[in-house]
Structure 1
């Protein structure tokens, strides 16, 4: 029970890495706020967990909704120990082909969302006596990828913001780290499989990005998030932990 009596808020927890993290945290004794823009998915995850969880609807790019989300979390469970900034999405496009609205949407959710959630959650974590923030960065924070300009920029910002937050809040007892996933099996890729001409070849290409020649699973990332949220990583802050099957070692 690595998170016994802890209260965690996880964004984008209606599916994928967020869902796996919410369920793992609950198994480890935490009470979990399952936050997602899609309340039906969030509620399904909360229902699967049971009375240890509550679902909250929020768009992390909207300050009023984020503030209400944190207030709902504290109002329901009484406090907050852990924030997992997981919500995010990507889209195709270079700086030439992207339109301004799409750029803004990607940056708002992936980067501004981390800022807003942390802005309102960290004071509650400090009030509790300290805790942990885990941000979801990406391997592309360090290596880049073609035709994903907004996403690369936003996730690079998350990695840098993590370091700044760690320094700003270290003496308040708040540890801040990020996780950089590689290619992780998810509904995002499931949709892409439906759209490409040769799904088998496309999947093999994704697997080949890793020296292990496979895609990761959401639980692979959830386990690292658990480590960073728990006292097992009590001396870790301001760091990015890469879980990518060796992709960035090529």
Structure 2
């Protein structure tokens, strides 16, 4: 698929590490000019919780490249605990970044996307939006909102020529997961448990999510609108019997 993004400009939020970095590298390899937005370590420094900063960053990308064709809303943070374990301030902080961050970037980018012949928005959601996971109440609520928002945005903008979809990764081998494992009482046992709950028996690679994002953002998916694409090793849909030795 090398070259299928030739001439296109993509914004990737949270693109300095993890899934976002893998997406930025994949789109670049396919010919896109990629603007990485993150808190640090990139040309376009941007806090997605700051609407003025978002508007400045999107305008800077448009000025630098002359167009915007693809927006990948990847920036987000994790959260642990039951519904009782986080106070209002933490709920508001996570929802502000994970949900309103998408709103701010999409709102700022839409005027540019509407005039693109290849406009696409891909939101990075999570298996937590569709499966009940323990100790993930706040995170699941935020990603459930992302899934609903994706469908609503798709309905609003498909006739403007802007396709909106999302990916729903399982547990991805990212720096955030690495930090969770490091903090666990038994990191090896925790990693084994995370691998075991995905039917294919391992963590998802960030590059695998990037391939899915590139498909949804690219010309090969021109009739794909308003869907969530699982990249979870079968976690969402498979019900395997326990493994036997």
TM (norm. structure 2) is 0.94
Q: Which residue of the other structure, out of 145, 167, 173, is the alignment partner of 1:179?
A: 167
Kindly state the Cα deviation for residue 175 of structure 1 after the two structures are TM-superposed.
Answer: 0.3
Counting only pairs closer than 5 Å after superposition, residues 198-213 of structure 1 correspond to structure 2 as 198-213=186-201
Contact 2:14–2:74 (8 Å) recurs in 1: yes
Q: Which residue of the other structure, out of 226, 229, 244, is the alignment partner of 1:238?
A: 226
Counting only pairs closer than 5 Å after superposition, residues 76-91 of structure 1 correspond to structure 2 as 76-91=64-79
Contact 1:130–1:172 (8 Å) recurs in 2: no
Kindly state the Cα deviation for residue 129 of structure 1 after the two structures are TM-superposed.
Answer: 3.7
1:6 corresponds to 2:8: yes
Runs of 4+ in structure 1 deviating by more than 4 angstroms, as ranges, are none
TM (norm. structure 1) is 0.92
* Matches of 1:100 and 1:158, distance apart in 2: 19
Counting only pairs closer than 5 Å after superposition, residues 79-158 of structure 1 correspond to structure 2 as 79-158=67-146
Q: Which has the higher helix share?
A: 1
Structure 1: 5+ residue stretches without partners: 44-54
1:100-131 CA-to-partner distances (Å, cap 9, x unmatched) read 11101110111111111111111111123451
Q: Could you say what secondary structure the match of 2:157 adopts?
A: helix
1:62 corresponds to 2:50: yes
Contact 1:87–1:110 (8 Å) recurs in 2: yes
1:143-174 CA-to-partner distances (Å, cap 9, x unmatched) read 12122221111100110111111111111100
**Which position in structure 1 is the counterpart of 2:243?**
none
Number of residues paired by the alignment?
236
* Matches of 1:77 and 1:112, distance apart in 2: 25
* Matches of 1:115 and 1:232, distance apart in 2: 26
